[in-house]
Structure 1
Amino acid sequence: MEIIELLTPAYEVAWLPWAVQYFFLVAVATGAALLAAACAFASAGSPLARLTPLAVVTLAIAAIAAPVSLLADLHQPARFWHFYAHFTPWSWMSVGALLLPAFVTLSLSLCASWWLGKPAWMRAIAPLLLLSLLTIVAYTGAEVMVVRARPLWNTAWLPVNLALTGWLAAIGAMFIIERFLPAPLRPHEAALQLLRSIALALAGALALATLGWVALGWMAQAPSLLAAARLWQDFPVWRWGMVLSALGGAAVLAVLLAGKTRMACPYYRLVLGALLAGSAWAFRWALFMSVQGVPKFGAGLYLYTMPLGGDGLLGILGMAGLCVALVGLISWALELFPARQHPVAAI
């Protein structure tokens, strides 16, 4: 009897969990920016106008936290400086070093305009913010899509999926954050139903994008779909992951549909928000971390154990703690300045 021993070497991953935090938070920021820009032109008293405080607070939190996770991923501050001292326009990462500060500046400017009660300023900033967020969506999607060594990433459908899942996560974050806003700033049920309707539209668009990736990929025998088929066929852990992802998507859609009669329940909104945000985060974990466990050549899986320190669990908990701290700080500031608790009439 012949015994064949297979050895799998341990390779360091190229993308650390910090990348998951950054791509998640920056996507939430773009989703919140999109809604905040729309709210700037809403008529006073409308459900969309009632969502303005929630969209602005979510935007402020994500726009501050996202660059922090990016800087942590770079490890050395000098690496950030190199993007400017040695600019390479053919690199999406280098281009992003210019686009991200502009987006953060416009986002915080819009938030400050709302805080100061300047609706005219908000309307002036909103178109620029809309253009900026689209550049962030393009840069973050293209930064991953251009990696040809990973066929699963190398598809034009990837930026679409990243954007749609990120915007769903932004709505999920809003359902969670609204519980911590001062009572006068919380959206009423009509506004919450509007937020749920937006989430349903995004979920439908995501389902269509997924079906388009499968159908067109099958007809063209696209490398991205073939890579996914290989994962399904050769790796049982991926097979179970894909099944659980499909079941999770169906569960999120079912919870969304149930919201027509249950939106008034705060616990329902909390569960819905956690499902939307958690699903988007899990998608990015599978995309960035799990895919790196699949060898580019050969068989088997690379072994990866998430470290407990700053490059792993502690970093994830730290970013979650930062977001919680920002929610608490902004909520305290809104309580401290009661004049900002009646902003809707000014919009």
Structure 2
Amino acid sequence: MNPTIVETVNVVREVAWLPWAVQYFFLIGLSYGAFLVSLPGIVWRRPGWIGISRVALLAALLCGLTAPVALLADLHQPGRFYHFYLYFTPSSWMSWGAFFIPIYLGGLVLYAWLAFRPLLAQQAADDVLTPRLARLCRLMAYGGFESRGALLAAAALAFVGASLVAVYTGMEVMVVRARPLWDTPFLPVQFVVTALAGGIGLTLILQRFAGQPASSDDTKRLSRALAITQGLALLIGAVWLLLGLTGLSPSHAQALAQVAPSASWRLTAVWAAGSTALTLWLALRRPGSGWLIGLLALHSAWMMRWTIFIGGQEVPKTGAGFYQYQLPLGYDGLLGIVGTFGLWIALFIALTTLLPVDRLTAKSA
């Protein structure tokens, strides 16, 4: 019998991080980005920011409550989450994240409750709800008093948690040295910048759900802040490209060499840079177009994470060519994305039934 030699040239592997992971990183980024937008009006009480910050806090709460569901789904067996607590691994950023997420969400929920207590009491007193919902509002308001000291303490706790979440979500991707596209210190920074842009964009969109048109001053304030994030995103991308082209950083040069031959990656790069530049131009020259620039900001935040996670896994660690990923229609693909958005919509309906957006956008303190 003649021996048979089997030579393995390349092995096609399925993506390990599914769209569930993209949704989690997208939603948790929007949450802490919107939380930062809530600080000027609620914590610092800057004139003109009260309505903006309340809507931003609603956005932070909605995304913060939805994000863990996507994270649990990405574990493939949700019961695995308790392993992070039973078998803590100090060398794993994902293990640290299991402790950082409750800090942020606990601080965020407490901060939101303290900030919205007076509004809940007003909503119950205005006799605009059914008796049952009015009783629920009064119960949740718990007297409706403004507790300034407790509010500041909760905001500080949420800020610490948001900072920890921002660090760990960037670092757990950056530490994968086997993928040069991920192995860059610019990645965590770009995550934060696009998360803040997405939080601003979502705030702009939610303002449109108020009974009256959003104030042009509010839209201009958010547009100016959004323009800064888009400028930073373009700057970070330009520096990354420069390091890759000049070879000053071997990892950046290797990452660029891997994706440069691909026409789809070149198209993605042009699309990302073009949409970011368009958002920057609109935010500066057409600051009143809140709907459009808000949607573009959300698009940029989602596209950046989809490209990094899914597109990054299409680049093989060994071998030539690229893996091909097609979005499945089932729960681990399109249906999962739609389902997560459906949960977000359900939470939005529930929260705005008790606290309508038009009450949040009111200019009174």
Given the two structures, how large is their TM-score scaled by the length of structure 2? 0.84
Contact 1:10–1:304 (Cα < 8 Å) also in 2: no
Distance (whole Å) between structure 1 residues aligned to residue 147 and residue 39 of structure 2? 11
- The corresponding residue for 1:242 is 269
- The corresponding residue for 1:224 is 252
Question: 2:165 aligned with 1:163, yes or no?
Answer: no
By how many angstroms is 1:35 displaced?
1.7
Distance (whole Å) between structure 2 residues aligned to residue 199 and residue 136 of structure 1? 21
By how many angstroms is 1:52 displaced?
2.2
- The corresponding residue for 2:128 is none
Question: 2:218 aligned with 1:191, yes or no?
Answer: yes
Distance (whole Å) between structure 2 residues aligned to residue 335 and residue 162 of structure 1? 31
By how many angstroms is 1:168 displaced?
0.5
Q: Which runs of 4+ in 1 moved over 6 A?
A: none
By how many angstroms is 1:216 displaced?
4.3
Cα deviation, 1:34-87, whole Å, max 9, x if unaligned, reads: 12233223337x112231221111111011011111111112133101000111
Cα deviation, 1:8-39, whole Å, max 9, x if unaligned, reads: 75421111011100000010011111122332
By how many angstroms is 1:182 displaced?
4.9
Match of residue 333, structure 1, among 354, 360, 364: 354
By how many angstroms is 1:345 displaced?
3.7
Bigger CA drift: 216-225 or 298-307? Answer: 216-225
Distance (whole Å) between structure 2 residues aligned to residue 167 and residue 343 of structure 1? 23
By how many angstroms is 1:7 displaced?
8.7
Higher relative contact order (CA 8 A, sep 6+): 1
Distance (whole Å) between structure 1 residues aligned to residue 240 and residue 154 of structure 2? 35
Return closer, same or farther for 1:7/1:151 CA change in 2, 3 Å cut-off: closer
Match of residue 140, structure 1, among 169, 173, 182: 169
Return closer, same or farther for 1:83/1:270 CA change in 2, 3 Å cut-off: same
Contact 1:47–1:191 (Cα < 8 Å) also in 2: yes
By how many angstroms is 1:302 displaced?
1.1
Distance (whole Å) between structure 2 residues aligned to residue 143 and residue 269 of structure 1? 34
Within a 5 Å distance, the mapping from 1:92-131 to structure 2 comes to: 92-117=93-118, 118=146, 120=148, 121-131=150-160
Match of residue 313, structure 1, among 321, 334, 341: 334
Return closer, same or farther for 1:7/1:181 CA change in 2, 3 Å cut-off: farther
Return closer, same or farther for 1:160/1:277 CA change in 2, 3 Å cut-off: same
Question: 2:173 aligned with 1:173, yes or no?
Answer: no
Contact 1:40–1:119 (Cα < 8 Å) also in 2: no
- The corresponding residue for 1:3 is none
SS for the counterpart of 1:220 is coil
Distance (whole Å) between structure 2 residues aligned to residue 86 and residue 7 of structure 1? 37
By how many angstroms is 1:119 displaced?
5.4
Aligned partner letter, 1:99: F
Task: Give the aligned length.
Answer: 329
By how many angstroms is 1:128 displaced?
2.1
Return closer, same or farther for 1:124/1:271 CA change in 2, 3 Å cut-off: same
Match of residue 20, structure 2, among 4, 14, 18: 18
By how many angstroms is 1:102 displaced?
0.9
Flag the structure with higher helix content. Answer: 1
SS for the counterpart of 1:47 is coil
Contact 1:50–1:188 (Cα < 8 Å) also in 2: no
Contact 2:43–2:152 (Cα < 8 Å) also in 1: yes
Distance (whole Å) between structure 2 residues aligned to residue 149 and residue 195 of structure 1? 39
What's the RMSD between the two structures over aligned residues? Answer: 2.2
Aligned partner letter, 2:268: G
Distance (whole Å) between structure 2 residues aligned to residue 70 and residue 274 of structure 1? 24
Question: 2:273 aligned with 1:272, yes or no?
Answer: no
Given the two structures, how large is their TM-score scaled by the length of structure 1? 0.88
Return closer, same or farther for 1:211/1:341 CA change in 2, 3 Å cut-off: closer
Point out the structure with max Rg over C-alpha. 2
Aligned-residue identity in percent: 36
Question: 2:50 aligned with 1:49, yes or no?
Answer: yes
Distance (whole Å) between structure 2 residues aligned to residue 104 and residue 343 of structure 1? 26
